[in-house]
Chains A and B, each alone.
Chain A
Amino acid sequence: MMRDMLSQLLVEAAAADDRFIVLSGDHGYALFDSLRDGHGSQFVNVGVAEQNMIGVAAGLAKVGFRPCVYGLAAFVPIRVLEQIKLDLCHAKAPVILLGDGAGLVYSTLGVSHQCGEDVACLRPLPAIAIYSPCDKFELQACWAEARRADHPCYIRIGKADRPPVHDAAITDTEPHWTNQRDVHNHDRLIVATGSMTSISTAIARTHGVPCLSVSRIKPLPPSLVLAVQSHRQTIVVEEHARAGGLFSALAEELASAESPSGRPHLAHLGLSTQFTFTAGSHEHALSEHRLDDAAVNRSLTAWITASPGQMS
């Protein structure tokens, strides 16, 4: 199960790397038993103080540690979004955030512990990668990539006590087929992530429809966009709100891609996913995102006057 794999990965990381340290905001009771037994000094319960926890992780990273911050997704990242933005993303701190119980896992506890907006909150932030593994094998691959990263990473963990979807270990975070595509049928495609992959795969198999499991949501794999473009209809299944989740990420890519007429159905002229590099006037800040008056004039004029096929 995914939860057992997570426990194992934490222990392995602690054994392999003195700089690895796990911080928890008084959550994850049994999950850390093995870690505490074998590497107790590398587990720190910082108390029910999540904002401080992110700052402490940022400070630890600044002096060479590789912190992993554990919390329920309702609190990490939602409660500490600004700390993630400034203390981790702006500093490009190599901190792994584990958001457990994402979605409606804590169904009986109520709204306070439920979280359907975590991916949406993090996607606009520069520097952070977002993972949403569906089983222990995808978790292993996401974890390995996050451990190698030189920037913050968020791993969204939904219902963690379900059996694997995949048959064997996975070595990358690209989308993986959980039901093989029919080479003669490019009609329908199911795209699923996280906790919705298991049920989506089962139904896909029943009906002979291809199904792709997406474990990395940011950066969105280009191969996913290509797969969706090669099918006539796609449905995205996720335990997350429509706004800002995997559906939203895909919709943005597809809308911006060239349509059969040669131009995007919906183009975007707005802020890039980056912090400003320098200070100055508002117009100067906009210019870093090519959104100053002159740049908007150039872009809009080109958009208005371009003939089909000239502009993407």
Chain B
Amino acid sequence: MTRSNRLFLGIVIEVPSRLTAGSHVMTPQCYRPGPVFDPKDLRRHILRMAFHGQSVHVACAFSLVEICSVLYSQFLRFDPMNAVSPGRDFLILSKGHGVMALYACFREIGWLKDSDLDTYFRNGTHLRGLCEADVPGCEVTSGSLGHGLPIAAGIAFGLRRLGSDRRVYCIVGDGEMNEGPMWEAFLFAAHQKLDNLTVIVDANRYQAMGRTEEVLGLEPLPAKIEAFGFATKECDGHDPEALTRCLSDLREIGSRPGALVARTTKGQGVSFMADDNRWHYTRLTEHDYLRAVKELS
């Protein structure tokens, strides 16, 4: 199957949000589209984890729900029976604070069960509040910011040396772009012409202590990344069609790594959390949990 056959722009894929195990086992030789995740389902999983685990970072995960959904349903090659299958594409979550969005996807894929999600933040669990590589599918340990992108660049560099057509996607935060190694990695990836690497900036305009523009201004971010030698796109990070279109375009450009600045809203999906940075830190009460779930029903 050629690369162009993997595109399914604009095609509505009729697959239940709950994936039946084994329904689309993939290898690079046998590629079929993944399931379409309903963002509402993913956000409900996140709320469930955050409420039962009494954890923080709900808003950090909410902003990248559509990004993860689109990547797993339309771009990443993976085996639903094996999160570390040898031929898989890589999704590196450099912004480890959004890890609940990954866990929610893993639940939809089948790599995690509801009972696993219920262990989140509990004693003895591997599901930590930040991304750690011992959870199959998580790939790297991130959360200390500025680590994931250099590793993603190393993976992409290695895959290209091996002549592999496997691809690397790396989700970074806009706050994370404060870190020096991110720009070192941009230089390296562009210099090495890593066209098998796509960086997606979850640009939710907030970092831990305030607005990114007020803490350490980044804009014009797309122009900066473009100037580093990346093919760069910008879109609404909560619009699956726009995300799909931009990521497809970036995949086909060749000779340069790609970057998508996905304009998102921290806490997107629940009215009283959207664009409110308190939900970086706030733990859910039962009242707020039920109110949020109701909005997503």
Interface residues of A (CB under 8 A from B): 21, 46-47, 49, 51-65, 82-83, 86-87, 90-91, 278-281, 284
| B146 neighbours in A (Cβ, 8 Å) | 51
CB <8 Å contact, A59 and B150? yes
| CB neighbors of A among B107-122 (8 A) | 121-122
**What CA separation (Å) do A65 and B156 show in the bound complex?**
12
Chain B 230-262 interface 0/1 with A at a Cβ cutoff of 8 Å (1 = within): 000000000000000000000000000000000
Indicate the member of B146, B152, B154, B191 with the most A CB atoms within 10 Å: B154
Whether B153 pairs with A86 at a CB distance below 8 angstroms is: no
Q: Which of B11-19, B125-133, B216-224, B272-280 contacts A (4 or more CB under 8 A)?
A: B125-133
B153 in contact with A278 (CB, 8 Å): no
Please state if B154 and A60 are interface contacts (CB–CB under 8 Å). yes
Question: Are A47 and B188 in contact (CB-based, < 8 A)?
Answer: yes
- Report the minimum CB–CB distance from B28 to chain A (whole Å): 14
Number of interface residues, chain B, beta carbon within 8 A? 38
Per the bound structure, the CA–CA distance linking A197 and B139 in Å amounts to: 43
Sample of 19 more A-B contacts, CB < 8 Å, known A58-B151, A59-B154: A47-B187, A54-B150, A55-B147, A55-B181, A56-B185, A65-B161, A83-B150, A86-B141, A86-B144, A87-B150, A90-B133, A91-B140, A278-B123, A278-B124, A278-B125, A279-B122, A279-B125, A279-B127, A280-B123
Q: Does B149 contact A (CB under 8 A)?
A: yes
User: Could you say which residues of chain B place their CB within 8 Å of the CB of A280?
Assistant: 121-125
Q: Does A281 lie within 8 Å of B123, measured CB to CB?
A: yes
A52 touching B129 by the CB < 8 A rule?
A: no
Find A63's partner among B123, B162, B184 (CB 8 Å cutoff): B162
With both beta carbons as reference points, the residue of chain A lying nearest to B188 in the complex is identified as: A52
- In the bound complex, what is the Cα–Cα distance between A264 and B39 (angstroms)? 60
B158: which A residues are within 8 A, CB to CB?
A: 59-60, 62-65
User: A53 CA to B141 CA in the complex, in Å?
Assistant: 17
Q: Are B155 and A51 in contact (CB under 8 A)?
A: no
- Assess the A90–B141 pair: CB atoms within 8 A: yes
CB–CB B153/A52 < 8 A: yes
Q: Distance (Å) between the CB of B176 and the closest chain A CB?
A: 13
Residues of A within 8 A of B124 (CB): 278-280, 284
Chain A proximity of B178: nearest CB distance (Å): 14
Instruction: Identify B155's interface contact among A52, A63, A83, CB under 8 A.
Output: A63
| A59–B155 touching, CB < 8 Å | yes
State in angstroms the CA–CA spacing of A27 and B213 once bound together. Answer: 36
A51 and B184 within 8 A (CB): yes
Binary flags per residue of B135-179, CB closer than 8 Å to A gives 1, else 0: 000011100101101111111111101101000000000000000
